[in-house]
Structure 1
Amino acid sequence: MTDNLETPRVASASREIAAPADRIFELIADPSLQPGWDGNDNLATSEPGHRVRAVNDVFIMTLTNGADRENRVVEFEEGRRIAWQPSEPGKQPPGHLWRWELEPLDANRTRVTHTYDWTRLTDEKRMVRARATTSDKLTASLDLLAGIAEKP
């Protein structure tokens, strides 16, 4: 199936969260916590103890369909930005990227932007899922993340 050139290949959503950036970043940088706020209904589990700390870190995530994904961190700035490229274990990434950017607004408020970029995706079997990953799915993740981060 050939991709429709009209389909946007970058989906993004932002929202303000009433929590400090460091608290929010800890939720994002610890893969074992990610299934608790995944609005895309795609993440099942990740082993605890693999907190991301640098570019080239790799963490394994088990998806809801039972498949494992290796996620290689390609962007990292502690407390501000993290992005990774998923792939099947031992294979090259097929060309999509998940990114989180945090902008502290004050000590207890942070603007969080979540982006899914599939501009370089070439794997035809992933195109349907990529097209379905729209801004509303990213907003759902942001809303779930806010619900956890804003708790006292």
Structure 2
Amino acid sequence: MTEQARVVSAERIIAAQPEVIFELIADPSQQPRWDGNDNLAEAAPGQRVHKTGDVFVMRITKDQLRENHVVEFDEGRRIAWLPSPVGETPPGHLWRWELEPRGDGSTIVRHTYDWTALTDEKRMVRARATTADSLRASIDRLAALAETAA
């Protein structure tokens, strides 16, 4: 498989300021509200991400805990994390959100799933099943929340 096929991305314009949208992404307790993969069950409040190196914990729908290691962070503009089972080294797949403000009060939102460094064979089927449509579902749900809040 080519490296290009291991990076999936989707984007759209959301009629809200980047700060409103980013708050929904950077606060893990909000993520199950907009997860288009229906994979996230809950996250304890008080884990709002503030910098690279932060780690937040989610309970996924399989009733397992997952750590998310923040590897990119620019407040209001960019956040990315590497998920892993609790206490384990991340297996190499990355979730990234990028927000680009537009002059009219709206924001271009890009969501990317990058599994170029994924080494865990057990995760390959799920990685291949993550499509631009599934990423778009998360963006669409995020838009519904952000546009209502705006």
Q: Into which bin does the TM-score normalised by the smaller protein fall?
A: over 0.9
Residue 11 (structure 2) pairs with residue 19 (structure 1): no
- Give the conservation status (yes or no) of the 8 Å contact 1:7–1:131: no
TM-score by length of 2: 0.96
Taking only the aligned residue pairs, the percentage that are identical comes to 65
User: Is 1:97 the counterpart of 2:94 in the alignment?
Assistant: yes
**Unaligned stretches of 5+ in structure 2?**
none
Deviation of 1:108 after TM superposition, in Å, equals 1.8
2:62 is the alignment partner of 1:33: no
Give me the CA root mean square deviation: 1.3
Instruction: Indicate the SS of the match to 1:121.
Output: coil
Pair 6,24 (structure 1): closer, same or farther in 2 beyond 3 Å: closer
Instruction: Select 2:131's aligned residue among 134, 141, 144.
Output: 134
In structure 1, the gaps of 5 or more residues are none
Q: 1:112 to 1:91 in 2, by over 3 A?
A: same
Aligned to 2:83: 86
* TM-score normalized by the length of structure 1: 0.95
* Shift in Å, 1:37: 0.3
**Over residues 70-118 of structure 1, what are the superposed CA-to-partner deviations in whole Å (9 max), with x where a residue is unaligned?**
0000000000000000001111000000000000002520000000000
* 2:38 aligned counterpart, secondary structure: coil
Which SS does the other structure have where 2:133 is aligned? helix
**Which residue pairs with 2:144 in the alignment?**
147
- What does residue 122 of structure 1 align with? 119
* 1:68 and 2:62 correspond: no
Is contact 1:70-1:86 (8 Å) kept?
Answer: yes
- What is the CA–CA distance in structure 2 between the aligned matches of 1:96 and 1:65, rounded to whole Å? 18
Distance 1:119-1:149 versus aligned 2 partners, 3 A rule? same
1:139 and 1:9 map into 2 onto residues whose CA distance is 17
Greater share of residues in helix: 2
